[in-house]
C-alpha cells in the first residue's frame, strides 16, 4: 500500500513552525506515521485550567490528523523528579514519589474530563533513569557535556545551533549567580545531572548519586519512544526557552540529527481584569497580596491557580474544552468567569438542537454513525439546498483546520450549520410527530450526520452532556420533580388558569429551571 494513499494525500495541511516562524506544509517524515510529543506537567501540585490548553489542542490536532488518515503516536511526559517536587516533599513531610502519584492522578482525571483521550504514552522521568543516564553519558563522551564534582553540565558553546529556536545568542545568556555558576564553563550552560544533597531522592550514576536536570528527561524519553527525529513537538510558549532550546541542543548534539521537524507552541492563558488568579511571574515569591491584587497576568500555580477539578465539577469538562478551542491555539486566552460562562451559553444552542433532532428523528445525535475519515466523508452535494449548505460548511470547516488548526474559525462554521439546520426544521415544520422515515427527516439526519463527523474531529459532542454541578442521583430527582410541576402547570393551563401556570414557570425560572413549551409538550433545561 503506498504511504500517500493511506493518509488521503493531504498536502493541504499547514503548520506554523516556531523554528522557521512561518506556516509550512505538513509533510511528516514517515507517512502515514506521525510522532508527536507534548511537554506535560511537573507533578508537584494540582493542575489549573492553564495546563489544559496544550493537552486539549494537541488532542484535537491528533484527532484531526487521524481523521486525515495519519497514524499518530502521541506522547505526553510526566516529570516526577524536580526541585519543586523536592521542596513540596519537604514542606508536606511526605515522600516525593507520593506527591507525584497524587498529582499525576489529579492531572489524568482532569484530562479525562476534558475529553483528552488520544494520548498513547505517558512516560515518567523516574521510570527512565537508565535512558537518561545513558543519554548524558553519550553527551559527555562526545564532548558536549562535562562533569564537575558530581554535576554534569551541557556546554552550550559546543552546539552551533544553540539559540535558534528562541532566537537568542549564547553570548547574551546571563546566567544566575549561586553555587552552580562557579562550576560552569559558560553562564548559559545548564545541568544535565545534579549531585544529590543529603536527604534528597537520588539515583546511582557514573558521576555519583544524583538526579536528572530539567530538560534531559524529555530528550531521553522522546528518543526512546519516537526516535532521534520526530514530527511534532509541542508545549506552551513559556517552555520555548530554556526548556525546548535545551532539549533541542541535547538531542541534536547527541544524535547528530535534527530532533523535531515542527516545533509548535500554544499561547498562554491569562486572567482577565475580573479574574481572581494571575501574577507577574512564576518566579516571583508568591504572597497572599499578589493573589488578591493581581488584576491580570499569566495564570500560574504560584499565584494560587488550581482547583481545576472543582472548576470542572461546576462548569463541565466540555464547556472548558469548548472555551479553549474557541480561541486560536497560538493566541493568549483571556480567562475570567464571564468568558467561560459565555462559552457555556453558546454550547446550550447545540444541546437544544440535539434535543430537537432526537425528537424529530428518534435518533440520538451522539449515536449517529458518522464517517471517521476525511476521505469517507467526502460527498457530492447534488441539488438539494440543505445538503449543499452543509457541504459548504464541511468544506469551510476543513479549510480552517487545514490552516494551522484554526479551531476558532472551525467552531464558528459549526454555528452556521446550526442556523441552517434549525431554519430547515422550521421551514419543513418538523416535530416529534414527524415520520422518521419521511424524506424531509431523512435529509435532516443526513445533514446532521455531517455535523457529527466534524464535531468529533474537535472532540466535542461525543457524549451527552452532564449537568453542571450535580451528581447523577440528584439530577434524576430534580428531573422527576420538575416533570411533576410541568404536569400540574399543564392541567392549570388546560382550564385556562394562566396565573397558576405562569407562577409555576416564573418561580422555576427564578430557581434556574427554564421551561420550553412546544407543540408536542413541555421540556426543561437549566438556565442558571
Partner RNA sequence: GGCGACGUGGCCAAGUGGCUAAGGCGAAGGAUUGCAAAUCCUUUAUUCGUCGGUUCGAAUCCGACCGUCGCCUCCA
- Residue 142 or 419: the one with the smaller Cβ distance to RNA is 419
Measured CA to CA, the distance from residue 169 to residue 226 in angstroms comes to 29
Peptide bond into 242 cis (omega under 30): yes
* 8 A C-beta contact, residue 446 and residue 386: no
- Residue 295 or 484: the one with the smaller Cβ distance to RNA is 295
- Residue 263 to residues 42, 75, 244, 248: CA-CA distances in angstroms? 20, 14, 9, 10
The runs of H, that is alpha helices, within 191-287 are: 216-226, 245-255
Decide if residue 352 touches RNA (CB under 7 A). yes
Decide if residue 8 touches RNA (CB under 7 A). no
For residue 78 the three cell numbers come to 510526566
- Residue 141 or 520: the one with the smaller Cβ distance to RNA is 520
* 8 A C-beta contact, residue 222 and residue 233: yes
Q: What angle do CA 446, 447, 449 make, to 5 degrees?
A: 65
Interaction residues for RNA, span 384-403 (CB under 7 A): 403
- Residue 75 or 410: the one with the smaller Cβ distance to RNA is 410
- Residue 242 or 258: the one with the smaller Cβ distance to RNA is 242
- Residue 81 or 226: the one with the smaller Cβ distance to RNA is 81
Interaction residues for RNA, span 84-143 (CB under 7 A): none
- Residue 77 or 246: the one with the smaller Cβ distance to RNA is 246
Measured CA to CA, the distance from residue 414 to residue 402 in angstroms comes to 16
Decide if residue 231 touches RNA (CB under 7 A). no
Decide if residue 197 touches RNA (CB under 7 A). yes
CB of 4 to RNA, least distance (A): 27
User: x/- contact string, 318-337, with RNA (CB under 7 A)?
Assistant: --------xxx--xxxx---
Measured CA to CA, the distance from residue 236 to residue 265 in angstroms comes to 5
Q: Between the CA atoms of 412, 414, 417 and 418, what dihedral angle is there, to the nearest 10 degrees?
A: -90
Decide if residue 222 touches RNA (CB under 7 A). no
Decide if residue 199 touches RNA (CB under 7 A). no
DSSP letter at 496?
Answer: T
CB of 452 to RNA, least distance (A): 18
CB of 155 to RNA, least distance (A): 11
Number of H helices and number of E strands within the chain? 17, 15
Peptide bond into 32 cis (omega under 30): yes
Measured CA to CA, the distance from residue 234 to residue 242 in angstroms comes to 14
CB of 378 to RNA, least distance (A): 23
- The values of phi and psi at residue 145, to 5°, are -135, 155
Helix (H, G, I), strand (E, B), or coil: what is residue 380?
coil
Interaction residues for RNA, span 234-253 (CB under 7 A): 237-238, 240-242, 246
Helix (H, G, I), strand (E, B), or coil: what is residue 518?
strand
User: x/- contact string, 483-512, with RNA (CB under 7 A)?
Assistant: ----------x----x--xx--x-------
The one among 96, 216, 268, 458 contacting RNA by CB under 7 A = 268
CB of 144 to RNA, least distance (A): 15
Strand partners, 34: 72
Q: Tell me how many residues contact RNA (CB under 7 A).
A: 85
The one among 12, 121, 134, 187 contacting RNA by CB under 7 A = 187
- Residue 190 or 262: the one with the smaller Cβ distance to RNA is 190
Decide if residue 462 touches RNA (CB under 7 A). no
Decide if residue 342 touches RNA (CB under 7 A). yes
Interface with RNA by CB under 7 A: which range of 7-15, 96-104, 378-386, 415-423? 415-423
Decide if residue 42 touches RNA (CB under 7 A). no
Helix (H, G, I), strand (E, B), or coil: what is residue 338?
helix
How many C-beta atoms lie closer than 10 Å to residue 310's C-beta? 10
Q: What angle do CA 12, 17, 21 make, to 5 degrees?
A: 115
Interaction residues for RNA, span 295-314 (CB under 7 A): 295-298
CB of 223 to RNA, least distance (A): 21
- The kind and range of the H/E element at 264 are strand 260-266
CB of 303 to RNA, least distance (A): 9
For residue 111 the three cell numbers come to 484530562
Decide if residue 432 touches RNA (CB under 7 A). no
Decide if residue 76 touches RNA (CB under 7 A). no
Overall residue count recorded for the chain in this entry: 528
Decide if residue 188 touches RNA (CB under 7 A). yes
Decide if residue 338 touches RNA (CB under 7 A). yes
The one among 406, 434, 448, 449 contacting RNA by CB under 7 A = 406
Amino acid at each position: 500500500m503506498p504511504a500517500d494513499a493511506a493518509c488521503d494525500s493531504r498536502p493541504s495541511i499547514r503548520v506554523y513552525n516556531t523554528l522557521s516562524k512561518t506556516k509550512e506544509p505538513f509533510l511528516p517524515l514517515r507517512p502515514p506515521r506521525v510522532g508527536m510529543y507534548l511537554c506535560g506537567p511537573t507533578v508537584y501540585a494540582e493542575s489549573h485550567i492553564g495546563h489544559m490548553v496544550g493537552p486539549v489542542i494537541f488532542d484535537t490536532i491528533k484527532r484531526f490528523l487521524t481523521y486525515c488518515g495519519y497514524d499518530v503516536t502521541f506522547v505526553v511526559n510526566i516529570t516526577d523528579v524536580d526541585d519543586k517536587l523536592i521542596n513540596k516533599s519537604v514542606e508536606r513531610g511526605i515522600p516525593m514519589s507520593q506527591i507525584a502519584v497524587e498529582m499525576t492522578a489529579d492531572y489524568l482525571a482532569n484530562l479525562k474530563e476534558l475529553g483528552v483521550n488520544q494520548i498513547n504514552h505517558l512516560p515518567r522521568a523516574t521510570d527512565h533513569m537508565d535512558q537518561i543516564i545513558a543519554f548524558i553519558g553519550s553527551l559527555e563522551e562526545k564532548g558536549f557535556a562535562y562533569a564537575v564534582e558530581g554535576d554534569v553540565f551541557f556546554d552550550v558553546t559546543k552546539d552551533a545551533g544553540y539559540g535558534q529556536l528562541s532566537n537568542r545568542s549564547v553570548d547574551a545568556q546571563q546566567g544566575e549567580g549561586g553555587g552552580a555558576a562557579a562550576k560552569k564553563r559558560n553562564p548559559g550552560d545548564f545541568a544535565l545531572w545534579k549531585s544529590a544533597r543529603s536527604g534528597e531522592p537520588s539515583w546511582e550514576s557514573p558521576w555519583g548519586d544524583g538526579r536528572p536536570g530539567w530538560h534531559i528527561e524529555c530528550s531521553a524519553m522522546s528518543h526512546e519512544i519516537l526516535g532521534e527525529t520526530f514530527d511534532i513537538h509541542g508545549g506552551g510558549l513559556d517552555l520555548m526557552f530554556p526548556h525546548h532550546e535545551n532539549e533541542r541542543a541535547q538531542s541534536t548534539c547527541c544524535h547528530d540529527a535534527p530532533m523535531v521537524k515542527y516545533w509548535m507552541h500554544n499561547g498562554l492563558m491569562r486572567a482577565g481584569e475580573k479574574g481572581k488568579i494571575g501574577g507577574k511571574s512564576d518566579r516571583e515569591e508568591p504572597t497572599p497580596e499578589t493573589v488578591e491584587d493581581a488584576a491580570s497576568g499569566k495564570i500560574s500555580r504560584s499565584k494560587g491557580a488550581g482547583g481545576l477539578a472543582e472548576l470542572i465539577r461546576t462548569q463541565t469538562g466540555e464547556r472548558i474544552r469548548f472555551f479553549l478551542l474557541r480561541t486560536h491555539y497560538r493566541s493568549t486566552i483571556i480567562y475570567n468567569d464571564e468568558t467561560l460562562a459565555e462559552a457555556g451559553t453558546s454550547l446550550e444552542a447545540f444541546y437544544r438542537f440535539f434535543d430537537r433532532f432526537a425528537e424529530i428523528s428518534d435518533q440520538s445525535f451522539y449515536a449517529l454513525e458518522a464517517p471517521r475519515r476525511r476521505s469517507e466523508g467526502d460527498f457530492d452535494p447534488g441539488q438539494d439546498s440543505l445538503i449543499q449548505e452543509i457541504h459548504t460548511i464541511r468544506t469551510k470547516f476543513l479549510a480552517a483546520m487545514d490552516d494551522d488548526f484554526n479551531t476558532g474559525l472551525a467552531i464558528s462554521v459549526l454555528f452556521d450549520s446550526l442556523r441552517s439546520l434549525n431554519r430547515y426544521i422550521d421551514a419543513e415544520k418538523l416535530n416529534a410527530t414527524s415520520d422518521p422515515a419521511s424524506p424531509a427527516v431523512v435529509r435532516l439526519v443526513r445533514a446532521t450526520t455531517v455535523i457529527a463527523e466534524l464535531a468529533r474531529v474537535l472532540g466535542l459532542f461525543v457524549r451527552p452532556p452532564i449537568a453542571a454541578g450535580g451528581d447523577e442521583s440528584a439530577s434524576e430527582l430534580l428531573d422527576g420533580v420538575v416533570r411533576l410541576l410541568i404536569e400540574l402547570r399543564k392541567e392549570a393551563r388546560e382550564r385556562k388558569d394562566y396565573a397558576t401556570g405562569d407562577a409555576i414557570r416564573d418561580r422555576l425560572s427564578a430557581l434556574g429551571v427554564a421551561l420550553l413549551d412546544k407543540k408536542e409538550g413541555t421540556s426543561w433545561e437549566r438556565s442558571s
